[in-house]
Amino acid sequence: MSDIPIHSMLYRTNQVWYATNREKTVVGLSAGQPKVLRYLLTHPKSLQKDIAANCDIEAATASLIINRMLKVGLIQDEHVTNDKRASCLSITPKGESAYNEWITYTDSLEEEMLKGFSQEEKDAFKYYLMRAYKNLTGKDME
């Protein structure tokens, strides 16, 4: 077994994952946008604060990501009844299409990354990542 610390392994693997995604410029989605789209697919008409909390990003970061997504038509907003400042956000057909393209690409990248892993090893890997996430955040990964 390697004497490389786990934090170094996680960092290096994460860097390679993102570098590979950047090289491909997958369907024009920037970092942060796929997780917002994923959340809105299962939670339509969500508030920005709920998106930020679920995606583990700061409110200011969420605001930047969301504004860019609104500008290019990946998501849409509707103002809620009495509060003109708050709006509910939903994914558009364009956003759903971009997300599906992104999923197709990342599924193939994941398949490459886990080549040679048995199904039991893949399940264990997911379990360990989910456990580590819960240890750090105190919440279950959705």
**101-140 pLDDT, tens digit each:** 989 888 988 999 999 999 999 999 999 999 999 999 998 9
Task: With beta carbons less than 8 A apart as the criterion, state whether 51 and 40 touch.
Answer: yes
Alpha-helical (H) ranges within 81-142 are 93-113, 119-137
* pLDDT band at residue 34 using 50, 70 and 90 as cut-offs: very high
Residue 101, domain member (yes or no): yes
Residue 1, domain member (yes or no): no
Q: Total domain count for the chain?
A: 1
For tokens 């039991």, name the residue. 120
Distance CA 105, CA 111 (A): 10
Burial class (CB in 10 A: 0-12, 13-18, 19+), 94: middle
Task: With beta carbons less than 8 A apart as the criterion, state whether 48 and 89 touch.
Answer: yes
Task: With beta carbons less than 8 A apart as the criterion, state whether 48 and 59 touch.
Answer: yes
pTM: 0.80
Residue 142, domain member (yes or no): no
**95-111 pLDDT, tens digit each:** 999 999 989 888 988 99
| Domain enclosing residue 48, as ranges | 6-137
Could you tell me the CATH number of the domain that includes residue 99?
Answer: 1.10.10.10
Residue 102, domain member (yes or no): yes
